[in-house]
Amino acid sequence: MNWFERCVPDTETFLRTHWRTAPVVLRPAEPPLELLTGAGLDAILDGGLLRTPYAGLYTADGQIPDERFCPPRRVTGRAVEGYVDGQAVRDLIRDERATLQLRYVDQWHPPVRALAAGIGEQLGRLVEAFYFFSQPGRHGPVHRDDGDLLAIQLGGAKRWHVYAGPADANWEPVRADEPGPLLLDTVVHPGEILYVPRGFAHTAAAVGDAPSAHLTVVIREAGTDHLRNALLSRISGGITLPGRPLDDDALLGAAASLLGHLREQLADVTPEALVAQARPHAFSSRPTA
């Protein structure tokens, strides 16, 4: 199964005309709506194994403390914290109109893991996934994410505003108070997928009478820090040197050996190889909306 083609119906045209260039709503013939259904969400919430930090709840006032939906359990005679209580989550969604975020779903949900792995293999990049269940009307601040987004609408509808991309390469994946011109104002319905290029500012809000459920697939990209780490990893191995050379000649000899090793390791390194080595490790610690 080609997961990327199930999200992007004409991959060649998409990569040529929209990738890293412009947002677009995609309408694939077989969108992967079966990955996380309403019944599937109930099974996750009631299964007893979901825990923080893989789950979080938010209102307009900020993040809801974990202890409000993760009561302690007794396991082998001791209190264990951090496990999600499904009914407590539903109560907070109903009574406080909280938004549920499931983080890094690719790490613990096998069908979503298969989707992320398939897209990652085709694009040669690290891919992660986040799930959002939100009530109509509430939206977060305009912000930029450190990754290309494929927002798969699973249920309900969501209105998105997508603004311009970063002005230069020194941008940060944070709130964007001056996002630039509005490029796209659209409502995404079940089975449709919104593509937002990396760094393009955006915000979204559920619309209509029903809650919105969507899965955001995040396609990470390497930055210069990832390139540095990949280069250091490539050149640091394969040589053993004395820890404390005994005299000047020995110290100079160790320096010469190290420089020779580095020259040898760098002789065959190409920019393409370094980027390919860095991309699978381009993790981000920032939450993604």
Query: How do the pLDDT tens digits run along the chain, 289 residues long?
Result: 699 999 999 999 999 999 999 999 999 999 999 999 999 999 999 999 999 999 999 998 899 999 999 999 999 999 999 999 999 999 999 999 999 999 999 999 999 999 999 999 999 999 999 999 999 987 778 999 999 999 999 999 999 999 999 989 989 898 998 999 999 999 999 999 999 999 999 999 999 999 999 999 999 999 999 999 888 888 877 888 888 999 999 999 999 998 998 898 888 888 999 999 999 888 865 544 4
pTM higher than the cut 0.85:
yes
| 228-243 tens-digit pLDDT | 988 888 887 788 888 8
| 5-50 tens-digit pLDDT | 999 999 999 999 999 999 999 999 999 999 999 999 999 999 999 9
How many angstroms separate the CA atoms of 202 and 144, rounded? 7
How many angstroms separate the CA atoms of 4 and 14, rounded? 11
Across 1-142, where does the E strand assignment appear? Answer: 24-26, 55-59, 62-63, 73-75, 78-80, 99-102, 127-134
Given this model, what pLDDT does residue 186 score? 98
Q: What would you measure as the largest C-alpha separation in the chain, in angstroms?
A: 79
